[in-house]
Amino acid sequence: MNEVAKEYRRLLELRKAYHPAADIDWDNDPVILGMVNTLSADVDATVAFLGECTADEFGWLSEIFAEVAEATRSQKLVDALYETAKRFPEECEKLSIVDFIDEAQDIVRRG
C-alpha cells in the first residue's frame, strides 16, 4: 500500500465521522483539504490507489473529484477515474459518480 492510500484512508475515517456533506465548509475544512492535497501531490500514486480502492472508498472520493482535477489538471487521473468506475457499476449508479467524473473531465479540458 502506497503513502497516498494510507493517508487517504486515515483521512476518510475522519471524514466519515461527520457525515452529511451538507454541513461541510468545502473551502476550509481541514480533512477535505487534506484529502485533496494528498490525492493531488502524486498523480501516479493516486492512480495506483484507484487500482486497489474499494467501492466505498471510491464513492467517498467522488465528492472531491473536481477539486483534485482542479489541482492536478491531469488527464491520466481522469482516465483512471473512468477505469475505476467500470469496476463499481452499482456504486456509480447509486451515487451518480460518472457525473462527477465528467465534471472533472471538463475541468481538465478547460485547462
Burial class (CB in 10 A: 0-12, 13-18, 19+), 42: middle
d(CA 111, CA 15): 29
CB distance 69 to 77 below 8 Å? yes
What is the per-residue pLDDT for 25?
85
Of 108, 105, 106, 85, residue with least CA distance to 95: 85
> pTM of the prediction?
0.93
| Domain spans, the chain | 3-110
Quickly list H helices, the chain. Answer: 3-16, 30-41, 43-52, 55-61, 65-72, 75-87, 89-95, 97-110
Q: What angle do CA 75, 85, 19 make, to 5 degrees?
A: 100
List per-block mean pLDDT (blocks of 10 residues) for the chain, which spans 111 residues. Answer: 92 86 82 96 97 96 96 98 98 96 97 85
Furthest-apart CA atoms within the chain: distance in Å: 34
Cα Rg, the chain, nearest whole Å: 13
What is the per-residue pLDDT for 111?
85
